[in-house]
Structure 1
């Protein structure tokens, strides 16, 4: 509590970390975890990338540190709920099991402090490619990892020049018509499921696009990812929900590849604006 940058939240939602891949922004995530306190932490799928680890092992110390930090949070009394995704689908075989204080669930219903109920689900169930053309999903995943690797090299140059993080794949999602249509179809399908379940909204991940909007009376919230946007969804003590883009809130350029941070990086963050 001595660090003026530490913030307290009722609930934190993170997804699509993709530990085990070179594109994972583990250092930024570690910094985020160091600067938050919460009562409940939801891991909303694709935490470990089993697809990538089956084809080649990549597990630097920072990835191990993320796992250890989360387990330490659970040991200290934080309620950690793990909702697996398609990249860590093997964990779905352990629904209902507790691992070191981490609860594995197929999905969950979260009630905010102001009484709203949200379906928490990764979202791959509503992705037609993942469900009906699995081979194409693997091909797309490989192409995506190549794009992220190129983007990582590009951002190393930007960082040395003093510029902030920029995501090429996120840029494409907002410019390419087919990508936009896929995102819109996904969002509508997830919102329909929340409506069918009789809840106020849905909190999901999967498509690596942080978003918070209304879809025909259903609150659609995507907490983003820790490959591109480096974002999380947080619930304040009064139930207010907010998306934090950590790479923008913190001095991304001040973090080197070993996760070291100079002193200015620890300056307190500005208080979030009122809703």
Structure 2
């Protein structure tokens, strides 16, 4: 079945695909970008991602870094069946002809030593230039190279990772109580991203730095992840910034349809009745 945005409900400039309304008939698209899945951590929403990959057929699947959380697994091995199911779904797509391009990130940086390796229909690399159907070129990177904390103060990055995991742990218990009381899902980390001025400034500065580097690359757009903040932002400098978000809280992905148009889609939580807008 072809990808038709108008058939799906609109949610704040994005396409919202509720689990209970998802069609069993596969949707054919040209390209999919997913980022920051963090398999190996308790925050990963593996079941939802497996369902998403079941619904959508694509010619090319980009895994835009931090698919496996090596940082978390160094401390404690956590790998339930749902995480294996995601890997199987990806490999099944590759077996059936989908080109899978794995962009390395900072949480799976142990794979960077193998950058350039291709096995089967899976290609491992640190960056990639993708050409849309309309001929425009997109630079695909994870984005951690534009995060000064990750690059210059690695210990602080680990501290931030611990703090984020702690917030997610609190969020799980908090929303368990909210669900029992009949309330919908509420994200503390998303609230902090939108309300704390320093966090908002960091996101804006990150997007600008990535876009400026994309111009130097001679491309018309850049796709990244890393900051768990799905966004499509056009810059006056003639380049478009795309962030495909994450599969921990946003449950979002970037899709190129068969006509070459790009859409930011959000896979809604089955228990979620309302949420903070992703674009504000």
TM class by shorter chain equals 0.7 to 0.9
Change over 3 Å in CA distance of 1:8–1:94 after alignment to 2: same
User: Counterparts of 1:161-176 in structure 2 under 5 Å?
Assistant: 161=181, 163-176=183-196
Matched pairs, number: 250
Deviations 1:184-232 (A, max 9, x none): 1111110011000010010000000000011222100000000010000
User: Counterparts of 1:53-202 in structure 2 under 5 Å?
Assistant: 53-161=73-181, 163-202=183-222
Local SS of the residue matching 2:253 = strand
- 2:246 aligns with one of 221, 225, 234: 225
Q: Unaligned stretches of 5+ in structure 1?
A: 255-275
Change over 3 Å in CA distance of 1:27–1:235 after alignment to 2: same
Local SS of the residue matching 1:237 = coil
Local SS of the residue matching 1:64 = helix
Q: Is 1:19 the equivalent of 2:61?
A: no
Report if the CA contact (8 A) 1:212-1:219 is conserved. yes
Change over 3 Å in CA distance of 1:165–1:113 after alignment to 2: farther
CA–CA distance in structure 2, aligned partners of residues 94 and 33 of structure 1? 25
Normalising by structure 2, we get a TM-score of: 0.86
Local SS of the residue matching 2:106 = coil
CA–CA distance in structure 1, aligned partners of residues 180 and 118 of structure 2? 43
Once the two structures are TM-superposed, the CA of residue 155 in structure 1 deviates from its matched residue by 2.6
- 1:253 aligns with one of 232, 252, 271: 271
Change over 3 Å in CA distance of 1:100–1:64 after alignment to 2: farther
Paired position in structure 2 for 1:9: 29
Once the two structures are TM-superposed, the CA of residue 253 in structure 1 deviates from its matched residue by 1.8
CA–CA distance in structure 1, aligned partners of residues 82 and 255 of structure 2? 23
Paired position in structure 1 for 2:257: 236
Change over 3 Å in CA distance of 1:162–1:37 after alignment to 2: farther
CA–CA distance in structure 2, aligned partners of residues 163 and 201 of structure 1? 39
Report if the CA contact (8 A) 1:164-1:252 is conserved. no
Deviations 1:155-208 (A, max 9, x none): 333444555433211111010011011111111110011000010010000000
Once the two structures are TM-superposed, the CA of residue 143 in structure 1 deviates from its matched residue by 0.4
CA–CA distance in structure 2, aligned partners of residues 66 and 212 of structure 1? 26
Paired position in structure 2 for 1:270: none
Once the two structures are overlaid, the 10-residue window that deviates more, 209-218 or 16-25, is 209-218
Which portions of structure 1, spanning 4 or more consecutive aligned residues, are displaced by more than 6 angstroms?
Answer: none
Change over 3 Å in CA distance of 1:111–1:146 after alignment to 2: same
Q: Unaligned stretches of 5+ in structure 2?
A: 2-22, 273-280
